[in-house]
Chains A and B, each alone.
Chain A
Amino acid sequence: MHRPGFWRDRSQNERFTAARCLECGYVCYSEHRQVCKECGATPSEWEDVELAERGTVQAFVVQRRMPEEFETPLPLAVIDVPTTDGESSARVYGHFTETDPDEIEIGMEVEADLRRLFDVEGLPVRSYRFKTPRGGAGR
């Protein structure tokens, strides 16, 4: 069955929905939102915004030791992802998939794709991972 946390985060995980602070417009993705970390509004009020499925790598590290369900070496990156309305962007911390760590560069464009992260009691938990955009032939 859905565990409460995964059920509540389903829109972030499966629809790549972020939250925009109604006070200052800051967009945050995948965080608990009692306080806006940009303007400090408490309690903060938010609206849902959709993220585009393309972003730009700002920084990355490569993890070599991870729990069994993660394939290593696993690049983890900070990626700026614009909202679909183009008004702002969220700074997203995400996993890569299908990408050789040597190919990752700061400033590269990446594509977000729904993937299965792990299972909880046999029930898959899916969320977005990043990769080199598909469509270019001859890797």
Chain B
Amino acid sequence: MVSIAGYGAYVPLYRIERSTIAEQHGSYPSDGELSVPSHDEDHITLGVSAAKEALAHAGVDGEALDAVYVASVSDPFDEHGLAPHVAYAVGAGGDVRVADMEGSPRAATTAVQTARDAVETGAVETALVVATDILSASPGSSVERTAGAGAGALVLGRDGDVADVSRMTTETTGFVGRFAVGGRDAVEGDATFNREEGYLDAVPCAVGRLTNGEAPVDADHAALPAPDDGWGDRALGALDIGAERHGTFDSVGYVGAASVLLDGIAAIEAADPGDRLLLASYGPGGSDALLLQAADGAATAPETTLREYIDDKEYVTYAKHRKYREMAGGGA
């Protein structure tokens, strides 16, 4: 069975409280905080940091990688690429397969699915999946109150001891709720319509397929990121799943494709060997669901855990948040 051999997260050092942003624009304050990229970070540096954490956790040398797939919804380049540069920086050889998956936060699970299929067929022995995002937000926009930055990475292989990838399913609807035009603020639209017709259609369908729609999915932990933090619990309720939901929305923000890996890593860090974990991505086009079963290696933490990256932080002023965000490519 295809399994996870290691995982790694990276969250930038800087934070801004949502209330600081609201105060600046005289808008209604909300709880939580957002990660702010440093002035010298970008999609590739974030992705490389998470990837190195995951490779060290897996005990895999970069040279041993056969495939590197990188997902993002905020890559600033049309022609440049992320995966070849992440692959080079972690030490992969010239024969490594690379691909960038973009266009929807779902791209992270597309990357996991592609890696899993490649490992299963034997075409690839060890694959690295990375999701990295610095979401764009202009000053005073509503997305400025949710836009985060971060990266997550998984190493997949055949004899990984962190978790088994038990099953993967998908639901493609074509529904577009939140969307973004290259480099500009995401357009959020009507939240209720997007949740009811989009999220609560695609995610329960994809998750339901894990058990062929028969019994509710038996899961202890769940990661169900969405551009709005309340949606994941509604999906669990609709599916009658009693799993504990883990999220980074309040501590990191919404991070596009990286959210499902960061939330998934939060779930793995909370899991005991034997626990079952449900992950579901969502974005324009639909949802992918993933069922994992934690193994003995889940009890061994990476050198720096997601929790440690979240707790080790430094607050910046609104002005510095703007300046850093613009320098890092999340200015809009």
Chain A residues proximal to chain B, CB less than 8 Å: 10, 14-15, 53, 71, 97-98, 113-117, 123-124, 126, 129, 134-139
Contact = CB atoms under 8 A, between A and B. Distances in A.
Indicate the size class of the contact surface on chain B: 20 to 34
A138 B311 contact: yes
Interface stretch (B36-44, B121-129, B175-183, B266-274): B36-44
A88 to B, nearest CB: 20
B304 interface: yes
B88 A129 contact: no
B311 A137 contact: yes
A102 to B, nearest CB: 14
A34 B39 CA distance: 35
A15 B89 contact: yes
Interface of B: 13-14, 38-42, 44-45, 48-49, 52, 80, 85, 88-89, 91, 303-305, 308-309, 311-314
B312 A114 contact: no
Contact of B13 (A10, A98, A123): A98
A115 B45 contact: yes
A97 B40 contact: yes
Nearest to B315: A139
Given A15-B88, A124-B42, A134-B304, A114 B309 contact: no
B308 A137 contact: yes
A134 B308 contact: yes
Contact of B48 (A71, A114, A124): A114
A139 B45 contact: no
B80 to A, nearest CB: 8
Contacts of A135: 303-305, 308-309, 312
B262 to A, nearest CB: 15
Given A15-B89, A134-B304, A134-B312, A126 B44 contact: yes
Contacts of B85: 14
Given A134-B13, A139-B313, A126 B308 contact: no
A136 B311 CA distance: 8
Nearest to A10: B88
